[in-house]
Structure 1
């Protein structure tokens, strides 16, 4: 079998064996493999996260503010917004701040020592102080740039201008608040004390609320007891009415006939006394000194005499009482019974009123408890509001305000959500520069590798294996180059794609496609093919949408955007690295596959055409 009747893989191996035997030839293959790493890796390395290093950029700050004073409630308050701003910037080093004079800053900006100069004019505080008057003026802060020091540096500075404005606005806010409220520290302290007092008030009201609840409960018991007393007083009043109704007429009758009663009583007393004396005389006559007296009869008589003495004594005592009691006394007793009846009725009425009043007091105590509950809640709300107000008042100490710059400087926050964040500048541009690096590989590879084996071209081997055999060395080295680039960026820079296997697989397909296209152009046009590859690279750089949205580019590049393969490579790598719609990856696979198959088919056709020898085929029209 002829040595030229070989498979494409043996043709590729034969091409690679040409580079054995001399270090320079071997180094040439190694250089080809490292081209994407040198181009893509180095660029991504130096541009991986420039915005994370802005604090290394020297920026001059010139404070020419002379300060001002403002009168509030009869008190003069000195303000200095420039010093406040300087302190604010020192607490948050967005850039490498250099606080210098105006002349130094101007000269440094011209010499390139500073990328930007921030100047606080001398009337800064004066204009801020005017905000408390009737003719307010807007204060200004000057930003000076010099594109001669690097236009991109100015762009980078402008990307954080919003944050810088927040820092400035915070200093302005504190200064302005000072002009309106005076010493914010005192305001903060006052609000804090008021909040503490409101908390104490809430606690005291809570205690009062508990007492009101207890009072309501006690009044409930009092109401029940008072009602029982009222019921008892009514019963007593009814009983007194009945008793007085019976006794009062009797007493009045006695009063009316008391004189006759006294006379009768006196007569009865005299009669009893005489009878008692007579009994004593009879006993002396019958029983004393008479030996024949009947002892039993005398004993019984003595018993009667004793009883008569006792009765006489009682009658005399009753007579004394009757005689000592006047008619006025009985009249007074009759009147007292009437008063007793009236008093008992008044007591019953009063007891009922007490019961009613206790019930009303109980209801009032309930209303009081309810009102104290609302008052307690209101006091707690007041305490909370005052505490929040105290926290919202910034201290005049910039160190305490620096962390709140965004809140004070920009009251309205924008809530931003990124579905698939790239996280760093370099990671966001990685799809674009990986695609460029892999294209550059194909451009450089076929400056060293042959596109076709000349001896196989003259032999009987079919055109398709010859064309594939000419492409395979570049494809093989390209796969190695793509893997070297990926692992270098992954391990060295921390690419960390969302889907590593898809990223590697897509990179391999890209290098196979780009190398096949480079092989086609070099095979079809020779040295001019390399120039065409450079032109095609330029067109893809400007139309792939890797740096700017394609909609912002001229219509010419928008028209090229869907036609060139790098567009689909960038879209797909964005998905595999940062995440996104899988449809972009599928579309890229289809398009790249079509380009790969189309490039190999055209290469086979060109090989077939070149096998028809013509006189001008022995010498290329242009060689480099």
Structure 2
């Protein structure tokens, strides 16, 4: 500990005894504050200077005539814009507006077309058309200006809509007022009509029932017509029906022959076993031929064996060979015939069995049905034919007139009766509703309200009351946490680049951790002064709105110490590479800390690393001091930043090495040059 303290005291002595070094340290203390103050002042109230954002306006509106009155919404809009200082409105021609935005003379343009008023007033017509204001913006010029211009354009369209709503509302409520006066004058006649309408409504169920039956009957006409056509077609088929009846009678007369044939089939079924024996006989013959072939083959072999001793045996051999060939051909023929015969016998047997089964099981039922059909043909068919002829005559003569009458009644019920009934019911419902819940005198009183007051309310029906939980008066105060935090990090980065982080230790007097902590105290001292200067300058030079002023200073000092520890450790452990690492760390933190845009609007990568970035917790702490502190949030962020200090100390103790000799000391062991 003595060595650490000795290094720190020596550094302080060198600062106070060396003018150049003292000037450098003073510059290092003041430079970050200049960065913060300039940026905070630059964004102090940017939205108060939006008049410099030039927006071109071109009005080609030709106006419109409504109920004898001429209106021109485009001209009214231009008049209102000339009184609107929020943006730099420039009134030019359409061609100039398009050219100016294209070449960057204007940030955006508003083009009001010729038919703007005409389309706007088309709401009074059957098919209203929505008017369009063409808005063009040059997003190449600036990232923020187009958004401000778009907001201004939205405000203009909102003002036009509000004015138009008030105008339309005024016309509507003026009509209500006139209607109320007329209603009051005609009240006796209305009451008399109410009684008549209620009486007529009571008779509607009977009328509606008749109409529904007519419509239902009309819907069934296609089926009736289709069935009637079938009757006519059936009449035309009577000769065919008679022929079919004659055929049924002929079949009935032939039933004894069918029965006789069935009996023969049953008898033939008993001879199936004899038919199947033929294949067995063929198989037996084939077996005998095989035995004969074997004997002849043996005889031929015996003859060959005796050929050497008897010369006249060659003739016998030839005869036996020819006999064997003939027997083989006969055997093949018999084998083929046997296979074919077996197949045919199986088919015949299968057919006989099926026919016999039909004769024994199904033929009696078939005969019974034929007898029943023949009885119908003899007894009932003539009467049925007569009825069909009568029905066909009726269809041909009476159906067209019947259909015409049904159509007329259904058309009346469908086209005229529903609208009439609906009007009567609506009128009766309105009458009962007024009689039961509304006093007609109250209705007249409502209709006679002041049209101007009613239309004003319609144009602005809702008033938005905004409650500012942590009010911050200007944009500069809101951005103070960001630029203060950036200045502190920049201050730490400048420190590690301007002052040496190692101590000359050629004689190995100090250990690595003593060098690290001894020189760290020097850097922390400069960092504390940087934070105090920045914080006090924000308070007393810029007069930034800060609720908890003391805590703002203390938290800035703490954050500066954390940043100094991080940047110093990177340079002390990794040498010049640590400078680059600090820069990369800065870039990552700006996007992931939520200091400008909410972190939820960034990509998933930055959302994931956000909790692990010092900026995230630092900006949250400073915002608490600016807007009003919640102790739990400050404590939580303080603990999170303390973890970074612990991690840096751990890295330094494990990895600290003297990696470079760019640190030059004076004659003392721990002097800063």
In which range does the TM-score fall when normalised by the shorter chain? 0.5 to 0.7
Q: Is the 8 A contact 2:61 2:74 kept in 1?
A: yes
- SS in structure 1 of the partner of residue 612 of structure 2: coil
Partner of 1:123: 115
Shift of the alpha carbon at 1:461? 4.5
User: Displacement of 1:102 after TM fit?
Assistant: 1.7
CA positional deviation for 1:534: 0.2
CA contact (8 A) 1:81 1:175 kept: no
1:21 is matched with: 19
- The residue number in structure 2 matching 1:276 is none
Change (3 A) 1:10 1:154: same
Please, what TM-score do these two structures have when normalized by structure 2? Answer: 0.54
Q: Is the 8 A contact 1:498 1:578 kept in 2?
A: yes
SS of 1:94's partner is coil
Cα offset, 1:525, TM superposition: 1.2
Counterpart Cα distance in 1 of 2:52 and 2:460: 26
How many angstroms apart in 1 are the aligned matches of 2:629 and 2:613? 21
Q: How does 1:361-372 map to 2 (within 5 A)?
A: none
Verify the 8 A CA contact 1:521 1:533 in the aligned structure 2.
yes
C-alpha distance after superposition, 1:366-402 (max 9, x if no partner): xxxxxxxxx9x989x9699945x434546xxxxxxxx
Counterpart selection for 2:452 from 390, 399, 412: 390
Provide the secondary structure at the position in 2 that maps to 1:106.
Answer: helix
Q: Does 1:144 align with 2:136?
A: yes
Is residue 28 of structure 2 the alignment partner of residue 45 of structure 1? no
* Aligned counterparts of 2:521 and 2:459: Cα–Cα separation in 1: 62
Alpha-carbon RMSD across the aligned residues, in angstroms, is 3.6
SS of residue in 2 equivalent to 1:454 = coil
The 8 Å contact of residues 33 and 480 in structure 1, kept in 2 or not, is answered as yes
Matched, 1:66 2:76: no
Q: Give the match for residue 433 of structure 1.
A: 483
Gaps of 5+ in 1: 195-374, 395-406, 611-615
CA drift at 1:124: 0.6
| Equivalent position of 2:165 in the other structure | 173
Shift of 1:535: 0.5
State how many pairs are aligned.
405
SS at match of 1:37: helix
For the structure 1 residues 472 and 12, does the alpha-carbon distance in structure 2 shift closer, same or farther, using more than 3 Å as the test?
farther
| 2:504 is equivalent to residue 454 of structure 1 | yes
Per-residue Cα deviation, 1:217-270 (whole angstroms, up to 9, x for no partner) = xxxxxxxxxxxxxxxxxxxxxxxxxxxxxxxxxxxxxxxxxxxxxxxxxxxxxx
Relative to the length of structure 1, the TM-score reads 0.58
Q: 1:13 to 1:172 in 2, by over 3 A?
A: same
Q: Deviations over 1:303-334 (max 9, x none)?
A: xxxxxxxxxxxxxxxxxxxxxxxxxxxxxxxx
**Aligned ranges 1:123-272 → 2 under 5 Å:** 123-174=115-166, 176=168, 180=171
Matches within 5 A, 1:410-421: 411-421=461-471
CA contact (8 A) 1:168 1:409 kept: no
Kept in 2: contact 1:475–1:512 (CA 8 A): yes
> Closer, same or farther in 2 for the Cα pair 1:160/1:431, shift >3 Å?
farther
Q: Are residue 569 (structure 1) and residue 618 (structure 2) matched?
A: yes
Shift of 1:538: 0.9
1:581 maps to: 630
Do residues 555 (structure 1) and 604 (structure 2) align?
A: yes
**Shift, 1:449, TM fit:** 0.9
Corresponding position of 2:93:
101
Contact 1:468 1:604 in 2 (8 A): no
Sort the Cα spacing of 1:166 and 1:514 in 2 relative to 1 into closer, same or farther, 3 A: same
Q: Is the 8 A contact 1:65 1:120 kept in 2?
A: yes
Q: CA deviation at 1:21?
A: 3.2
Taking a change above 3 Å as real, the CA distance of residues 549 and 618 of structure 1, as seen in their structure-2 partners, is closer
Quote the offset at 1:17 in angstroms. 4.4
Alignment of 1:330-479 (within 5 A): 386=449, 389-393=451-455, 411-455=461-505, 458=507, 460-461=509-510, 463-479=512-528
User: CA 1:514–1:408 in 2, change beyond 3 Å: closer, same or farther?
Assistant: farther
1:25-54 deviations in whole A, cap 9, x for unaligned? 554333322332233222222122212322
- Give the secondary structure class of the aligned counterpart of 1:148: coil
Distance in 1 between residues matched to 2:560 and 2:448, nearest whole Å: 65
- Using the alignment, how far apart are the partners of 1:618 and 1:408 within structure 2? 79
Report the secondary structure of 1:569's partner residue.
helix
Match of 2:470, SS state, is coil
**Secondary structure of the residue that 1:513 maps to in structure 2?**
helix
Aligned-pair CA distance for 1:536: 0.6
Q: CA deviation at 1:576?
A: 1.3
User: Which residue in 1 is equivalent to 2:30?
Assistant: 34
1:278 corresponds in structure 2 to: none
User: CA–CA distance in 2 between the matches of 1:411 and 1:116?
Assistant: 31
Which residue number in structure 2 is paired with residue 85 of structure 1? 77
Residue by residue over 1:81-108, the C-alpha shift from the partner in whole angstroms, topping out at 9 and shown as x without a partner, is: 1112122223333212222222332232
**Structure with max Cα Rg:** 1
Task: Describe the shift of the 1:467–1:554 C-alpha distance in structure 2 as closer, same or farther (beyond 3 A).
Answer: same
2:6 maps to 7
561 and 5 in structure 1: CA distance in 2 versus 1, 3 angstrom threshold: closer
Aligned residue in 2 for 1:499: 548
